[in-house]
Amino acid sequence: MSNVLARSGRFAVRVAGRFAAFVRRHWAAVGLVWRRSVQFRVTVSTLALSSAVVFVLGMLLQSQITERLVDAKRNAAIAQTRDAVTTAERELSGMDPGTDSIDNRLRSTLNQITSSTAAEDTTAVSAAGAFEPVLADAGPNVPAGERSWQGPFDQVSNDLHRFVASGQMTTQVHTVGPENNSKTYLVVGAPVTSTMRPLQLYLLFPLAGEQATVTVVQNTLLVGGLALLLLLGGITNLVTRQVVQPVRKAAAAAQRFADGDLDERLRVVGEDDVARLGQSYNEMAESIQRQIRQLEEFGQLQRRFTSDVSHELRTPLTTVRMAADVLHASREQFPDGLARSTELLVDELDRFETLLGDLLEISRLDAGVEELAAETTDVRPIAERAAEQVSVIAGSAGSELLLEMPDVEVNAEIDARRVERILRNLLGNAVDHGEGRPVRLRLGYNEHTIAFTVRDYGVGLRSGEAELVFNRFWRADPSRNRHTGGTGLGLAISAEDARLHGGKLEAWGAPGEGACFRLVLPRVVGVEMTESPLELPPDGARPADGPRLLGPGTNGQVVAGELVPEGVEPEGVEPDGGERNAADPDAAGSDELAAEQDVREEAR
């Protein structure tokens, strides 16, 4: 028995759970439609309010109709009872109390009331309808065993009997019989004066006809209310649709306009409010289209100017480069100041050539003519080459390059040249702002995504600067010293290279805690990336086996070394606590510029 109850309980729990899930699922769908559709909200709200109004009106109508029916029945029944009392008193006054028994007198009187009522044709009788008469000798002074009556006296309630025994005419709606076969009567009771003793007359009027009438009224109100609600719902839906449909068309047109279809316009019909809305939208679209085209033309002119200037500068730069090389080759024959000036001239020409190259690159990226030469390759050697190229600069700055690479191949479809350039820029940027602390390059991967992070422990980024570091020529503090002396376009080009791959380049930093740049790329071009395998902000955790360390060795070669724990300063390196120049990692610092100015003055 207990097993059966346990199985029944588990079944009930499963059924309840499924029902709850069904309700939640459909309730969520209804909630979604409610939030997204004005037409649905207006229709449902109108139906809800209309239902409340129809319900209240229906209850009032039903109450009024029922009350009128009962009042009419009661008035007619009272008039009928008065006539019956008169007939009973007249009949009882002509009887001889000595010769007639009480039962015979009651029966004779009751027959006379019934026959006289059937013979009459008055309005009161017609309105009251059929009845069942009861004549009883049941006064308060009559013992219960000696009471006599004629008719269904057991259907008269005790409360009504007490009121009539006190000499009052009264009415009562009384239901008798079992629930499945009950009958409702309007009972009217009145005292009857007799020469023998006080009698009581009751007329029981069935209310079956009135109940049927009330049922018909209820059904009529219910059907009429439902029909009215459906009609109101349809009308509300139609009216709301006339208002919402133009709005939906305007929203669809605005979406297509936002997607690049600048010729999208709304069809204007009529002169109403919706037509004025469409006309205003079309005028706005015309203005935006005109301004966008002007901006496109201006951007094309600007890109063309930058490209043309960069190309035109190459010819005189080549000439100046040749002359500078001749001077640089003969610098040992010059005085010290002039020799130093020759070296500075060559260095600045190198920076000038790099700037021209970056300008041409950014112009091609802006023009959209750059193509991605992607091929499937192992990305680990690319990171190692970028680290080797920056290792000499890192040695000059006193920073160690820490590489954390997986032990297995990490193949991805990438443009190796562009990815290497991104990593080289990030590493150079980290060395410039690492304050002589280690710089860590990590590689992580999952099924669809690879990620590189370049982490330094230098001055970091202030609030809001992480969004500005990729702006062209932006710098947080132009006075900081530099080791690489770049153009200020490195991070901007890197961000564009990441975008060409379908990836993204992000930055994080905090004052005094360093900065971290994360490059996230899809493993297959055109396939959507998943969650990055490396976190940003970084969690600072290191693999158990420790990363490989690349640092400057003899003659600039990269050799293995030991990992410097996070937060430990390299010996002989003290942070200066200066501000970080995040977007232009390669610009020359003020100290170096001042030294160059002194050398130029000596040369003069």
Task: Look at residue 268 and tell me whether its pLDDT is greater than 70.
Answer: yes
> Among residues 478, 494, 477, 469, which one has the least CA distance to residue 358?
494
Determine the average pLDDT of the residues in 181-187: 82
Confidence at 368, pLDDT banded by 50, 70, 90:
low
Count the neighbouring beta carbons within 10 Å of the beta carbon of residue 7: 10
Higher-scoring residue by pLDDT: 196, 571:
196
Quote the distance between the C-alpha of residue 469 and its chain's center. 32
Least confident of 136-145, 433-442, 487-496, 542-551: 542-551
Confidence at 412, pLDDT banded by 50, 70, 90:
very high
pLDDT in tens, 68-105: 888 888 888 888 888 888 877 777 776 555 555 666 66
Task: Look at residue 478 and tell me whether its pLDDT is greater than 60.
Answer: no
Task: Look at residue 293 and tell me whether its pLDDT is greater than 60.
Answer: yes
> Among residues 568, 566, 579, 449, which one has the least CA distance to residue 509?
579
With b for 16 or more beta-carbon neighbours within 10 A and e for fewer, the 504-541 pattern comes to ebbbbbeeebbbbbbbbbbbbbeeebeebbbbbebeee
Using an 8 Å Cβ cutoff, are 164 and 149 in contact? Answer: no
Q: How far is CA 598 from CA 112, 243, 345, 603, in A?
A: 145, 77, 14, 9
* Kind of pairing between the strands at 548-552 and 401-404: antiparallel
- Correct CATH for 12-261 of 3.20.20.10, 3.30.450.20, 3.40.47.10, 3.40.50.150: 3.30.450.20
Task: Look at residue 596 and tell me whether its pLDDT is greater than 50.
Answer: no
pLDDT at 436: 87
SS3 186: strand
pLDDT in tens, 27-59: 777 777 777 777 788 888 888 888 888 889 989
- Going by the DSSP 8-state scheme, the letter that residue 120 receives in this structure is -
Confidence at 9, pLDDT banded by 50, 70, 90:
low
Beta-carbon contacts of residue 228 (< 8 Å; ≥ 6 apart): 50, 54
Bridge partners (DSSP) of residue 404 are: 442
pLDDT at 2: 53
Q: What are phi and psi for residue 583, nearest 5 degrees?
A: -90, -20
pLDDT at 599: 37
Residue that is written with structure tokens 């937060």 in the block: 567
Task: Look at residue 552 and tell me whether its pLDDT is greater than 60.
Answer: no
Task: Look at residue 595 and tell me whether its pLDDT is greater than 70.
Answer: no
Task: Look at residue 382 and tell me whether its pLDDT is greater than 60.
Answer: yes
Higher-scoring residue by pLDDT: 569, 342:
342
CATH code 3.30.450.20 region(s) in the chain: 12-261
Residue ranges of alpha helices (H) inside 267-404 are 273-329, 336-367, 380-397
Higher-scoring residue by pLDDT: 19, 133:
133
CA 470/CA 533 separation, integer angstroms? 23
Q: Ranked by mean pLDDT, which of 10-19, 456-465, 578-587 comes out on top? A: 456-465
Q: Mean pLDDT score of the chain, rounded to an integer? A: 75
pLDDT in tens, 206-220: 888 888 888 888 898
Least confident of 116-125, 137-146, 333-342, 428-437: 116-125
Using an 8 Å Cβ cutoff, are 362 and 489 in contact? Answer: yes
Task: Look at residue 498 and tell me whether its pLDDT is greater than 80.
Answer: yes
Task: Look at residue 581 and tell me whether its pLDDT is greater than 50.
Answer: no
Bridge partners (DSSP) of residue 445 are: 450
CA 585/CA 390 separation, integer angstroms? 13
Determine the average pLDDT of the residues in 209-233: 88
CATH code 3.30.565.10 region(s) in the chain: 374-603
CA 189/CA 178 separation, integer angstroms? 23
Q: Does domain 374-603 have CATH number 3.30.565.10?
A: yes
Using an 8 Å Cβ cutoff, are 432 and 419 in contact? Answer: no
Task: Look at residue 465 and tell me whether its pLDDT is greater than 70.
Answer: yes
Confidence at 516, pLDDT banded by 50, 70, 90:
very high
> Among residues 418, 489, 484, 427, which one has the least CA distance to residue 454?
427
CA 392/CA 7 separation, integer angstroms? 77
Using an 8 Å Cβ cutoff, are 561 and 549 in contact? Answer: yes
Q: How far is CA 315 from CA 223, 319, 345, 356, in A?
A: 93, 7, 17, 12
SS3 247: helix
For 156, counting Cβ atoms within 10 Å of its Cβ (0-12 exposed, 13-18 middle, 19+ buried), the class is buried
Domain 265-370 is of which CATH architecture?
Answer: Orthogonal Bundle (1.10)
Task: Look at residue 574 and tell me whether its pLDDT is greater than 60.
Answer: no
pLDDT in tens, 315-356: 787 888 788 888 888 888 888 888 888 888 887 887 777 777
* Kind of pairing between the strands at 199-206 and 183-192: antiparallel
Task: Look at residue 585 and tell me whether its pLDDT is greater than 50.
Answer: no
Task: Look at residue 591 and tell me whether its pLDDT is greater than 50.
Answer: no
Q: Ranked by mean pLDDT, which of 201-205, 352-356, 503-507 comes out on top? A: 503-507
pLDDT > 70 fraction of the chain, expressed in percent and rounded: 75
Determine the average pLDDT of the residues in 430-444: 89
